[in-house]
Amino acid sequence: MDLVRHLRYFIVVAEELHFGNAAIRLGMAQPPLSQRIKRLEEELGVRLFDRSARQVRLTEPGRLLLGEAREIVGRVDRLHELARQGGRGTVLKVGVPPDLAATVLAALVAAFRESSPEVRLAPAEVWTADQVTALAEGTIDVGLVRHPVTAPGLTFGQVLVQAQGVLLAEGDPLASVGEVHLADLAGRELLMPPKEGEPGWRAEVLAECRRQGFVPAQVHEGAGLGLVLAGAAVAFGPRTELPGLAWRPLLGSPITSRVSTAWRAATPAVGDFSAAAVRTLKESAGMTHEGAAPVRRVSRRPGMLA
Amino acid sequence: MSAPAFDQLFRAAGVTGWLYAADVDTGHDLGHGADEPMPTASMFKVPLLVALCRQADAGLLDLTERVTVTAADRVSGPTGISSMLDDVTISLRDLAYLMIALSDNTAADKLLGRVGFDAINTMLEAFGLKETRVAQGSGEMLGSMDVDTGHAWPFVDPDDIARLSVLDPARTNRSTAREMARLFGMIWRDEVASAPSCAWMRGVLNMQVWPHRMASGFPYDDVAVSGKTGTMPTLRCETGVVEYPDGGRYAVSVFTRSFGTALIQPRADAVIGTAARMAVDHLRR
């Protein structure tokens, strides 16, 4: 049997958990798909799906084998792609967060080109959670992820940190003060990267906001700053100078973004990219090494406790 | 005359709120979640004060008796004897003054040791305040927070706050906005103890030092606000009586729980005053 092809069928059925839908996605009829899954189960000697209930569910062995199947299929695809590229040099596929400043991305590409001229860099804008999937599937070789992120099998480069400030519309009354406290933002709406894309960062930021007295009436999702420009929301980010917007540091540096490279298979190109990323992010994005987190002091005021 | 938009008011201050207000003399009243059981935090010190007076009225104790508060009695707290370093010898009524005016936890627990839970709860039952119970002293409440979270003050993590038994009316001192306000109304009508004792309690409640909650809603020299606050992480409350220049007297109780967990939230404190003001204003129309 063509094991790789059968694994592709397995992956699609596992994603759809519905034979009919999977067959449509694969452009084939349902009976042959069911047959091929059955053959794969015979070949492997385990049941991959539980079809007893009305819905299709992955069995425990199925769940375990799915990750491996994705890796095998990903590597086969990569093999084909490398072969297609022939002698035209290697390509390093890189995932970067869509909200990474354009100047930083440009500096990153330039720095890598300088250190590894023989490797072509193919950057794609991908949020952290999608980078983790893309790394597992082999569709990217190395990513630039936001922490906290947990994924078995990933190796992380040096973690760099950056205290975030707040972006406000120019006309916002808070734009007239030097520093803004998170509690000052009470009553405002907040713009954050999409929940699906940056779950760890979002949870961390919202918990800190709540701890400090800022519970946004609404959390908008997106990477563009249009809502901030319109005065409908505020956003957290590094110092930015954009017409119509004001950036102010946050008092006490309560929100710190932590970024690092991440990869699954270490290659010389991945190592070079990782080193170039650390260098560039420090130089052109103002990030620093992760130090000890400052301990937050909570003041005692009698009236707040009586 | 429709009731004020309390939900909107509370939401704008980042809290959920419960309220009850009544004209002390006519009984004309207004409620917003008035019968919801709520933790009372330091407001339990008011039924304790009343029970103390009743025991004095009955000749069971002498309010001028002097007791010595030692290190062994000391409970943590931001004010009064709780924050002092040395032994204090003081009369029972001055302990009561510290307990109410400054919310002194040590003074409260010392008095609670003399009065006893049974006396307070039997009294509350007799008053028909069925939702109001005193089951813990200040020291127990504070100690439970360390146990519930596994660490010491401060408690600002949302996860920690979800675990606090002092925020669960089933497991701590409890009441409702209606019953707390009713108790205050009874003090103002001389119904809970002898007239001189009630007058003394009103004076002590009028000496509460905190200006940031109920009193902030009535920033006028000719309006008197007497009350007692209660505070726990995300819980801010106060019950009091507001006395207008024309003699109108209103018992008001407001409880709030904040969405954010920060300790310092001036808007959450001030909305207690704003809501009380709106309620009194409504009752006077």
CA gap A301, B82 in Å, rounded: 14
Q: Which of B14, B39, B145 is nearest to A184 (CA)?
A: B14
Which residues in A lie closer than 8 A to residue B157 (C-beta atoms)?
207, 211
**Do A286 and A256 form a contact (C-beta atoms < 8 A)?**
no
Q: Residue B75: helix, strand or coil by DSSP? A: coil
Structural tokens at position A130: 């999608």
**C-alpha angle B46-B50-B55 in degrees, rounded to nearest 5:** 145
Does residue B78 sit at the A interface (CB-CB below 8 Å)? yes
Supply the angle between the helices A128-137 and A199-211 in degrees, to the nearest 10: 150
Chain A nearest-CA residue for B211 = A303
Which residues in A lie closer than 8 A to residue B229 (C-beta atoms)?
306
pLDDT for A84 equals 66
Chain A nearest-CA residue for B228 = A306
- Tell if the pTM clears 0.80, that is, is over it: no
The overall longest dimension of chain A from CA atoms, in Å, is 76
Lowest mean pLDDT among A36-45, A272-281, A282-291, B76-85: A282-291
Is the pLDDT assigned to residue B161 strictly greater than 70? yes
Is the pLDDT assigned to residue B136 strictly greater than 60? yes
Phi–psi pair at B240, nearest 5 degrees: -165, 180
Q: Is the ipTM of this complex over 0.90?
A: no
Does residue B267 sit at the A interface (CB-CB below 8 Å)? yes
Does residue B154 sit at the A interface (CB-CB below 8 Å)? yes
Q: Environment class of residue A135 by beta-carbon count within 10 Å: exposed (0-12), middle (13-18) or buried (19+)?
A: buried
CA distances from residue B155 to A169, A304, B233 in whole angstroms, order as listed? 34, 13, 7
* Chain A interface with B: residues with Cβ < 8 Å: 183, 186-187, 207, 209-215, 298-306
Cβ within 8 Å, pair B78-A305: yes
The helix or strand, by DSSP H or E, that contains position B269, with its residue range, turns out to be: helix B266-283
Cβ within 8 Å, pair B260-A303: no
pLDDT for B18 equals 98
Phi–psi pair at A220, nearest 5 degrees: -90, 155
**C-alpha angle A215-B32-B159 in degrees, rounded to nearest 5:** 35
**Do A167 and A228 form a contact (C-beta atoms < 8 A)?**
yes
Q: Hey, how many other C-beta atoms are within 10 angstroms of the C-beta on B148?
A: 19
Chain B nearest-CA residue for A298 = B154
Q: Which of A144, A227, A243, A230 is nearest to A192 (CA)?
A: A227
Q: What is the pLDDT of residues B204-233, one digit of tens each?
A: 999 999 999 999 999 999 999 999 999 999
Chain B nearest-CA residue for A212 = B262
Q: How confident is the model at residue B40 (pLDDT cuts 50, 70, 90)?
A: very high
Q: What is the pLDDT of residues B22-36, one digit of tens each?
A: 999 999 999 999 999
Give the pairing of strands A160-163 and A155-156.
unpaired
Does residue B262 sit at the A interface (CB-CB below 8 Å)? yes
Give the pairing of strands A91-96 and A142-147.
parallel
Q: How confident is the model at residue A85 (pLDDT cuts 50, 70, 90)?
A: low
A/B interface, count of CB pairs below 8 Å: 63
Cβ within 8 Å, pair A305-B261: no
Cβ within 8 Å, pair A306-B154: no
Does residue B79 sit at the A interface (CB-CB below 8 Å)? yes
Cβ within 8 Å, pair A212-B102: no
pLDDT for A157 equals 95
Cβ within 8 Å, pair A187-B14: yes
Q: Residue A191: helix, strand or coil by DSSP? A: strand
Is the pLDDT assigned to residue B284 strictly greater than 80? yes
Q: Which amino acid is at A174?
A: L
Cβ within 8 Å, pair A215-B102: no
Chain B nearest-CA residue for A184 = B265
Cβ within 8 Å, pair A187-B231: no
Q: Which of A172, A127, A171 is nearest to A146 (CA)?
A: A127
pLDDT for A86 equals 58
Structural tokens at position A241: 């100078």
Does residue B12 sit at the A interface (CB-CB below 8 Å)? yes
CA A33 to chain centroid, in Å, comes to 33
Is the pLDDT assigned to residue A88 strictly greater than 60? no
**Do A164 and A234 form a contact (C-beta atoms < 8 A)?**
no
CA distance A297 to chain B (A): 9
> Nearest Cβ partner of B261 from A186, A211, A304?
A211
Structural tokens at position B180: 């707390």
Q: How confident is the model at residue A53 (pLDDT cuts 50, 70, 90)?
A: low
Does residue B21 sit at the A interface (CB-CB below 8 Å)? no
pLDDT for B16 equals 97
For testing contact with chain B, the best of A185, A206, A211 (most B CBs within 10 A): A211
On average, the pLDDT of chain A sits at 89
Q: Residue A41: helix, strand or coil by DSSP? A: helix
Q: How confident is the model at residue B114 (pLDDT cuts 50, 70, 90)?
A: very high
3-state secondary structure B87-113: CEEEEHHHHHHHHHHCCCHHHHHHHHH
Cβ within 8 Å, pair A210-B229: no
Is the pLDDT assigned to residue B62 strictly greater than 60? yes
CA distances from residue B53 to A70, B124, B194, B241 in whole angstroms, order as listed? 77, 14, 8, 19
Cβ within 8 Å, pair B264-A302: no
